[in-house]
Amino acid sequence: MSILVLGAGGQVGAALRWRAMARGQSVIGLKHDELDITIADAVRRTVADIRPSIVINCAAHTAVDRAEEEPERAMAINGEGAGNVALSCALASVPLIHLSTDYVFDGSKTGPYREDDPIAPATVYGRTKLAGERAVFDAWGKHVILRTSWVFGAMGSNFVKTMLRLAASGQSPLKVVDDQIGGPTPADAIADACLDITTRVLQADIVPWGTYHFAGAPTVSWHGFAQAILAHYPDLVIAPCTTEDFPRPAPRPANSVLDCGRIRAAFGIGQPDWTVHLAHLLRDLGEMPTESGEDGS
């Protein structure tokens, strides 16, 4: 069994390589400079040559604000690129796990989003990711689309690292939006969910293909998340502000909360507790002392 990870240099792609290796699974990770998913021929040749047991596509244009300025590039990667991957998988008869986002919703719902709630992306990023979902759906039946939210981990850039950088710079008070809620999702946990789905896909006769939500719990606002990240900076003031106080080129969903009941029912995969993963990450980044009794090895 071999797993081919595309976009392997990103947060989730890197976590997938490490988690797969830790689980003793054979994994090939291709970074952007090793395979560009916008080049259809290259993707087709790569999948045909490697003939993996499964492809996990983490490659994406994730710069939400920049996407507003370069919609064609975002569509080439998130929309057409996803289609190239799915078509290549279909031609080689290889199952595909494709990552997507809560941004396919506009965030106006009260309560967690279910997979079959109406989609209404309000940003270029969201529209291009939705185009990718549709391209995957149209090209190849043996797919799992995994929508996630608020990803953080050791690799790449994310909200945790931004908050730590701002805190280290001595900036205080830090104003953080308090009227947008969601589920911070550890990249490691997404990787494990993908690997659990992979095991099922490769071992079971009947696979519940389709679209699933996977996000961390408990629900929190960005402000609450910042407080958790910076709890060890007792003198730092973290001031709540509104979305209006902090305008961005791409509007952020007020509600990014994903209902994760379907993936639990179909695959037995539960929601990760982001507070536990955050504590581990802070310790790994040297932000927290190791607990007494641990030798740090």
- Residues with catalytic annotation? 125
Buried b (16+ CB within 10 A) or exposed e, 253-267: bbbbbbebebbeebb
Q: Is the previous residue joined to 173 through a cis bond, with omega within 30 degrees of 0?
A: yes
- Choose which of 5, 47, 56, 60 interacts with ligand NAP (CB under 6 A): 60
Angle at 77 between CA 72 and CA 78, to 5 degrees: 95
Asked whether position 7 contacts ligand NAP by CB under 6 A, the answer is yes
Does position 20 bind ligand NAP by CB under 6 A?
Answer: no
How many contiguous H segments (helices) and E segments (strands) does the chain have?
11, 12
Q: Write down the least CB distance from residue 151 to ligand NAP, Å.
A: 4
Residue ranges in 93-186 assigned as alpha helix (H): 124-139, 159-168
Query: For the stretch 132-157, what's the b/e string if a residue is b when 16 or more beta carbons lie within 10 angstroms of its beta carbon?
Result: bbebbbebbeebbbbbbbbbbbbbbe
CB 88, min distance to ligand NAP, A: 13
Is 37 an interacting residue with respect to ligand NAP (CB under 6 A)?
A: yes
CB of 70 or CB of 179, closer to ligand NAP = 70
**What token pair was written down for 153?**
């981990």
Closest CB to ligand NAP among residues 137, 233:
137
Residue sitting closest to ligand NAP (CB): 10
Size of the site for ligand NAP (CB under 6 A): 25
Stretch that binds ligand NAP, among 45-53, 87-95, 116-124, 145-153 (CB under 6 A): 145-153
Residue among 4, 10, 193, 252 that touches ligand NAP (CB under 6 A): 10
Strand partners for 174: 238
- Contact between 149 and ligand NAP (CB under 6 A)? yes
Determine, following the binding rule CB under 6 A, whether residue 32 of this chain makes contact with ligand NAP. yes
Q: Is 174 in the site for ligand NAP (CB under 6 A)?
A: no
Query: Is residue 36 at the binding interface for ligand NAP, with CB under 6 A as the rule?
Result: yes
Quick one: DSSP state of residue 1? -
181 binds ligand NAP (CB under 6 A): no
In Å, how far from its chain's centre is CA 260?
14
Q: Should residue 150 be labelled a site residue for ligand NAP when binding is judged by CB under 6 A? A: yes
123 binds ligand NAP (CB under 6 A): no
Among 101, 180, 198, 211, binds ligand NAP (CB under 6 A): 101
- Indicate whether 156 belongs to the interface with ligand NAP (CB under 6 A): yes
Report DSSP state, residue 142: S
Segments of the chain assigned E as strands: 2-6, 26-30, 54-57, 96-101, 143-148, 151-152, 174-177, 181-182, 185-186, 210-213, 220-221, 238-241
- Residue ranges that bind ligand NAP, judged by CB under 6 A: 7, 9-13, 32, 36-38, 58-62, 77, 81, 99, 101, 129, 148-151, 156
